[in-house]
Structure 1
Amino acid sequence: MNRLLVLETIIQMKSFTKAAEVLGYTQSSVSQMVAGLEKEFGIQILRRSRTGVSLTAEGQAIYPYMVQTLRQYQALQERAASLKGLETGTVRIGAITSVSCYWLPDLFKKFKERYPNIEFVLQQGDYGMILDWLKRGEIDFGLMTAEYGEGFNKVVLHQTEMKAFLPSKHPLAKEDRIQIDELAADPFILVEGGGYSEPLAAFEKAGVQANVRYRIQDDYTIMAMVEAGLGVSILSELVDSRTDFDLVAKSIEPKVMRPVSIVYRDKATLPIASQYFIDFLVQHKQELR
């Protein structure tokens, strides 16, 4: 069924590359799965062009049946889940602030529409805290960066851009993009990462050192401090989507990215509810923006 899911995602995204990013596969493996489908049915299903990827005439003829098969399999999975005890259960998650605030409420709502008796326990923290909770078994899995935490399994959900947050009257506020080294001289307000920091890694890669004046865990406190002119910061683009603070958020050159991922020890040993919510997250990751 993975091959059918890959094909559906390619059609939706009109791109092999984007489909690979969404599903967490390499572009090579996506191409191989499509080639396997075409070999199995003996026809060319997809056509690549300058405008993207589209179905061939033969592909258009069989694609509805493929989608129907995929939906029937997904329905079968859901029914099997209920028989295995997903009528009730608790999903215990540790997540960074931006994910817990901007992604999880809607995802919880959609999952509970399917499984209304499932309960969620959410703990919000930095990378170090999430890893500690995982080691102690206090959570089933974490949602955090893939760049930190050795010895854990990780599934990337989304490559989130991190942006420079500046006071609205900052000299760089009118620039389209900001060079990372241009931020080094300003007082820097660092979001506490608990062992790893994308902004500090970006400064180090650029060969400059940030002038860190404050270390804060809460994104909203940081934005309030930026608005007050106490410094600049680098935060997830997610927090820029819902803010009334008088500040600006600008893309950084070179880009600073955070690969937000599901982090866990052994999926097979997790409670059934958590296993299915992990699958649910992967199935819906193309919706995460």
Structure 2
Amino acid sequence: MTITQLTIFLKVAETGSFTKAGKVLHMTQPAVSRAISNLEAELDVKLIIRDRKNGIMLTDVGKRLLIQIREILQGFEKMEQEIAAEKGLEIGTIRIGAFPTASAFFLPKILRAIEQKYPNLQFELYEGIMNQVEEWLVSRVIDVGIINSSNEELEMIPFYQDKMIAVLRDDHPLQKKAHIHINDLDQVPLIICKGGNELPIVHIFEETKTTLKVKFVVHNTNALLNMIQEGLGVAIISELSLTTLPPNVQIRDVQPNILREINLAVPSLGDTSLAAQLFIDTAKKLF
């Protein structure tokens, strides 16, 4: 069993194709297939099922070994980074996952700061909803994630507090107020945007004993803003999510303050590579 074999298996699993894995690794499809067959022969287990209808599928043992193989390969990469650091070099790949708002707001600044100082570092960026980012972390697909939730399987580094604000149409009765108190929203139809916005809202309504009346649930900010513009309700959303406001839509501060905690998350701080630790340190300095 070699590092090359494990790398090939990982790419086949990730791409779902011998041909695609070969293109990524600059190998022919027969060479990829042969490497997988040799690995299965050495381990004496079937890792991959080739199905004409469904394509490539991992066996149960293949799925279990996939996480361990990622850890093995990341361990070798971590060792290479340690050796390079001893020689005064910074190399390696940082795999980063984030939800869309965090990806747009935080990552460009962090990556620019790192690239200016350490041009040899490589980045792989993954963007998805919160559950996806957490799954990528647990299964070791990524090294660092930016999430706004907590997960007992992960280690968290407090990173940023995102203020929540009220958004309403300019003819709504509440627009006359300089600040909107949560009690003002008792029984008021609300539009909720999923993806980490909803939990702080539910908590503040419970704490203030205010009745939360959810009229619509959406999954992106643009849909929410368009619905507010049509007079379908009021919303409370994170400040980071609002880059522009459509005509006839206004924002107001909310009292008491609602803060959404955004964290850096890793599978294990003790196993974090030098490159991933550099990302964490840079993010904390910048924000």
TM-score range (shorter-chain normalised) is 0.5 to 0.7
Give the paired residue count: 203
Alpha carbons 1:127, 1:193 under 8 Å: kept: yes
Determine the C-alpha separation between the residues in 2 that align with 1:268 and 1:253. Answer: 40
Which of 258, 261, 271 does residue 260 from structure 2 map onto? 258
Give the 3 Å change call, closer, same or farther, for CA 112–182 of structure 1 in structure 2. same
Match of 2:29 in 1: none
Which of 160, 180, 183 does residue 181 from structure 1 map onto? 183
Corresponding letter in the other structure for 2:150: Y
Q: CA deviation at 1:137?
A: 1.6
Which of 155, 158, 181 does residue 157 from structure 2 map onto? 155
Match of 1:99 in 2: 102
Instruction: Compute the TM-score of the two structures, normalised by the length of structure 2.
Output: 0.63
Alpha carbons 1:85, 1:272 under 8 Å: kept: no
Give the 3 Å change call, closer, same or farther, for CA 153–162 of structure 1 in structure 2. same
| Alignment root-mean-square deviation, CA | 2.4
Which of 134, 138, 161 does residue 135 from structure 1 map onto? 138
Give the 3 Å change call, closer, same or farther, for CA 174–90 of structure 1 in structure 2. farther
Q: CA deviation at 1:109?
A: 1.8
Match of 1:125 in 2: 128
Which of 212, 219, 222 does residue 217 from structure 1 map onto? 219
Look up the SS of the partner of 1:189 in the other structure.
strand
Determine the C-alpha separation between the residues in 1 that align with 2:237 and 2:246. Answer: 14
Give the 3 Å change call, closer, same or farther, for CA 248–194 of structure 1 in structure 2. closer
Alpha carbons 1:143, 1:263 under 8 Å: kept: yes
Q: CA deviation at 1:150?
A: 2.3
Look up the SS of the partner of 1:198 in the other structure.
helix
Where in structure 2 are there 5+ consecutive unaligned residues?
Answer: 1-83
Match of 1:245 in 2: 246
Where in structure 1 are there 5+ consecutive unaligned residues?
Answer: 1-79
Instruction: Compute the TM-score of the two structures, normalised by the length of structure 1.
Output: 0.63
Percent of aligned pairs sharing the same letter: 29
Look up the SS of the partner of 1:86 in the other structure.
coil
Q: CA deviation at 1:178?
A: 0.6
Which of 204, 207, 215 does residue 206 from structure 2 map onto? 204
Determine the C-alpha separation between the residues in 2 that align with 1:195 and 1:251. Answer: 16
Give the 3 Å change call, closer, same or farther, for CA 158–213 of structure 1 in structure 2. same
Determine the C-alpha separation between the residues in 2 that align with 1:97 and 1:115. Answer: 25
Give the 3 Å change call, closer, same or farther, for CA 236–195 of structure 1 in structure 2. closer
Give the 3 Å change call, closer, same or farther, for CA 173–123 of structure 1 in structure 2. farther
Which of 213, 227, 230 does residue 228 from structure 1 map onto? 230
Determine the C-alpha separation between the residues in 1 that align with 2:282 and 2:169. Answer: 38
Q: CA deviation at 1:90?
A: 2.4
- Higher Rg of the two aligned structures: 2
